[in-house]
Amino acid sequence: MIAGLGNPGPRYKNTRHNIGFKVINLWGDDLNVQLSGRRFQSRNALTRFEGKRIFLVRPLTYMNRSGESIRACVDYYGIQTENILVVHDDLDLPVGKIKVAKNGGAGGHKGVMSLVQHLGTKEFPRVKVGIDRPRYRESVENFVLNPFYKDERETVEEVIRMAVQACGLFVREGVESAMNVINSQNLTTKEVTS
């Protein structure tokens, strides 16, 4: 299962917090699959990638209740924790950087906290997509629920593509391979404009 975290509805569509949704949407487009399923309080699709069955899912429970949706999917399909990949935004990474991790804490991310609570473990792989920290003294809550700065948007499009690559590597070769290939890449831009 590849789960992208975010918030449903047009208000949140292009926000930093919805980068997980964007990754899942792009991979679905690449695979010519629409996430039209409505079970498990989510938009989802069951498909195949390089001979393996994969379940793409975007929880519709809002970020801080993502675990409810993911847990329902896991229970229904009997998915082992090591076969769940969660794609989410990360304030501690700069825009242009992705980190694939085997497990870890929530780092204050409410969606990941919800998953840890509902799955009963921190031992699930993740693709953490850097969104950086606020530049202009915005509160973190406002920052994550707003679009990327104009000078970041081109990089973000490349990063979403790289995150899809990370998901493919995870399915095809496992988390270690995805870590080795993706974690050394850096698309960060050095220029900062207002």
Which domains occur in the chain, in start order?
2-182 (3.40.50.1470)
Taking alpha carbons only, the member of 10, 51, 4 closest to residue 145 is 10
Distance CA 188, CA 94 (A): 7
The answer to whether residue 17 is catalytic is: yes
User: Considering the entire predicted model, what is its pTM?
Assistant: 0.94
**Could you please report the per-residue DSSP string of 150-169?**
GGGHHHHHHHHHHHHHHHHH
Encode pLDDT of 111-127 as tens digits.
Answer: 999 999 999 999 999 99
pLDDT of residue 194: 41
**Could you please report the per-residue DSSP string of 16-47?**
GGGHHHHHHHHHHHHTT----B-GGGEEEEEE
Point out the catalytic residue in the list 17, 88, 109, 118.
Answer: 17
Encode pLDDT of 78-106 as tens digits.
Answer: 999 999 999 999 999 999 999 999 988 88
